[in-house]
Amino acid sequence: MSSIYKKQKNPLVSSEKYAVCSLICGIISVFLSLLYLPVSLLIGGNYPAGLICGAGGIVLALMARNSDSSSRRSIPTKAMIGFLLSCFSILLTFFFFSQLIQFYDLLRDPVKGPQINQFLYQLQQRMMEQLQVNTPVH
């Protein structure tokens, strides 16, 4: 009778759950990494959410491998894809971070800095005009 109440864990299911979570983290981290540069330029702060989510995806992929109770301890396909996407998002975040540093260095240039500031001001004005045209009046 007591055996009815015992929960039986299927290690394959646990490994598969970690693999799916790793895949989801990998997809989200790539999306957040692509938004890193525009958000950093608009908000002015550095929020490496793609880097953090990518690290979580790597950890989850390794947990999927370690939760496999078979003797070969293979990595599920979804975990491998999540691992690769997470690594790609980390590299993408570092690439955009280096581009951001180069952009700020370029702003310090006495010739190019004012030209870039003027271009960004004109772009901001056009965006504000578009927002005013597209917003409905209540």
pLDDT, one tens digit per residue, over 48-80 is 889 999 999 999 999 988 887 666 777 889 999
Secondary structure of 20-42 as H, E, C letters: HHHHHHHHHHHHHHHCHHHHHHH
The answer on pLDDT for 98 being more than 80 is: yes
Tell me the mean pLDDT in the region 87-112. 90
The answer on pLDDT for 87 being more than 90 is: yes
Per-residue pLDDT, 13: 72
* 69: nearest Cα among 3, 9, 6: 9
The answer on pLDDT for 95 being more than 90 is: yes
CB atoms within 10 A of CB 39: 15
Mean pLDDT of the chain: 84
Return d(Cα 46, Cα 104) in angstroms, integer.
13
Per-residue pLDDT, 31: 94
Return d(Cα 134, Cα 108) in angstroms, integer.
35
Instruction: Show the DSSP H helices in the chain as ranges.
Output: 2-5, 11-34, 36-43, 49-66, 77-107, 112-134
Per-residue pLDDT, 3: 54
Q: Are 43 and 72 in contact (CB under 8 A)?
A: no
The answer on pLDDT for 7 being more than 90 is: no
What residues contact 75, with CB distance under 8 A and at least 6 apart? 19, 61, 64, 65, 68, 83
Tell me the mean pLDDT in the region 81-94. 95
